[in-house]
Structure 1
Amino acid sequence: MANIQATGATLHQQILNEIENRIVSGEWAPGFRLPFEVDLAESYGVSRMTVNKVLTQLAKAGLIERRKRSGSFVAQPQVQSAILEIHTIAAEVRSMNQAYSFTLQSRSIRKAGPFDRAAIEVSAETRLIQLRCVHFAGDMPFCTEERLINLDTVPEAEEADFSATPAGEWLIAQTPWSAAEHKISAVAADERVSELLDVPVHTPCLVVQRRTWNGSGPVTSVRFTYPGDKHAIVATFTPASA
């Protein structure tokens, strides 16, 4: 892999510097899987313990992610989103110069239950679309999405193909909103979120819940769950006038 030169730096530091340079330069892009420890050790002519210490230091610096049974991957850069604006997930991912994709996990239509009525403020007879999706940055999961759409307000959503176009993108294009609410919280990943986001159970996650309305009533309620170390929320504001 690399020709380690005889310098004043230790082998550990030289290997660390080389791998870090590959990541920072973009040679190893976000999502790239590093060679396994045994292969790195053989390539550099050092012990696995030395390589393990290097990878541990890179993980602590936030440059790589280490996953059980999968290996080590170059970490995705943290993305920031503004809570006073509504952007699509695709726009967030592309702002990091990453390829965007998504998968629709499930779609169903049903009448609102007690939990739904609290989430989206509709009556018991209201028909809702429920969607569950996973969004990706490159090959790595970026966030999960759980969404309710009010068919009384947006009846045309019933015929929309949300496996081809993400619901958030479709709604922004089709249904202008007049009011929005964001709620931000932190949770530990349960088994389902752990599997979908490919993170260990109990990993800290950032949850952004959003509700929007237009002149006809509630439009949608959506919950996005991000790995906590990959997302930040930013609010920009000015002092209120006296």
Structure 2
Amino acid sequence: MNPARRIRDEIAAAIRSGEWRPGDRVPTEQELAARHGCARATVSKALGELAAAGLVERRRKAGTFVAHPPVHSAVMAVPDLAELIAARGEAYRWSLNAMRIESDGVAQCPPPALRVEGIHFAAGEAFALETRFIALDEVPDAANADFRAEAPGTWLLGHIPWTEARHVIRAVTPTRSEAAQLGVTMRAACLELDRTTWRAGRVVTHVRQLFRGDRFDLVAEFNAGT
């Protein structure tokens, strides 16, 4: 077998089997060349193919690391990020940053509205920022919910049925504060999702979520109509 292909296949097998986990550091080119008795150029070619396949991430001056697989979400669904991340085999955590009641009209959610801000984490790294407004006239129990222990989106899906939803999806660059919280540069591509959900024509919640562009995909599957 071609040496570069052999190295590529061995590393890919270690990643897919779970032996090497997302975020693990891959041995250096020098170490892999010595292990396989080949030139560094051969190793570099193998790592380049793995990076192109999305299995590893090559960071300048830092080395090569096992990539975090992107989380996929159906465009037409209202996803629970905790479930999506857990389904990828990664540890999920929610961190509440701020919460207050807004008495004026805000976003697309009528007052009074509970404003909740926080960060979703996957495998110990920031995955998405969230700013959410919950219509308290429609969801009064939200005022007493423990959003330190549970993300508001998860709580809403478990307590309040929705009948309609609207997504607005944009590619954006983060602000300085957003970039710092997500652990990316201000030039990084991010995915912004604005969603409003209704129940019987009345707004339940409006949310803005900002995702790292390399960690989240929106997917739609459909058939041609008759």
Give TM-score, length-normalised by structure 1. Answer: 0.76
Matched, 1:214 2:199: yes
Q: Is the partner of 2:214 in helix, strand or coil?
A: helix
Q: How does 1:175-214 map to 2 (within 5 A)?
A: 175-214=160-199
Q: Is the partner of 1:26 in helix, strand or coil?
A: coil
**Inter-CA distance 144–38: structure 2 relative to 1 (3 Å threshold):** farther
Does the Cα contact within 8 Å between 1:84 and 1:236 map onto a contact in 2?
A: no
2:77 aligns with one of 85, 88, 109: 85
**Inter-CA distance 168–69: structure 2 relative to 1 (3 Å threshold):** farther
Consecutive unaligned residues in structure 1, runs of 5 or more: 1-7
**Offset of residue 179 of structure 1:** 1.8
Give the corresponding residue for 1:110. 102
Give the corresponding residue for 2:90. 98
Map Cα deviations across residues 55-89 of structure 1 (whole Å, 9 max, x no partner).
Answer: 55533332123456865432122222122222211
Q: Is the partner of 1:229 in helix, strand or coil?
A: coil
In the aligned structure 1, how far is the partner of 2:68 from the partner of 2:86? 12
**Offset of residue 170 of structure 1:** 0.9
In the aligned structure 2, how far is the partner of 1:202 from the partner of 1:73? 21
Give the corresponding residue for 1:163. 148
Give the residue type in structure 1 aligned to 2:188: T
**Offset of residue 150 of structure 1:** 1.7
**Offset of residue 16 of structure 1:** 4.2
Map Cα deviations across residues 85-129 of structure 1 (whole Å, 9 max, x no partner).
Answer: 22211111122222222211222222235xx2xx2142xxx2222
Matched, 1:120 2:108: yes
Deviates further, 232-241 or 139-148: 232-241
In the aligned structure 2, how far is the partner of 1:195 from the partner of 1:45? 42
Give the corresponding residue for 1:20. 12
**Inter-CA distance 70–195: structure 2 relative to 1 (3 Å threshold):** farther
Consecutive unaligned residues in structure 2, runs of 5 or more: none
Does the Cα contact within 8 Å between 1:133 and 1:144 map onto a contact in 2?
A: yes
In the aligned structure 2, how far is the partner of 1:163 from the partner of 1:68? 37
How many pairs were matched up?
Answer: 226
CA RMSD of aligned residues (A): 3.1
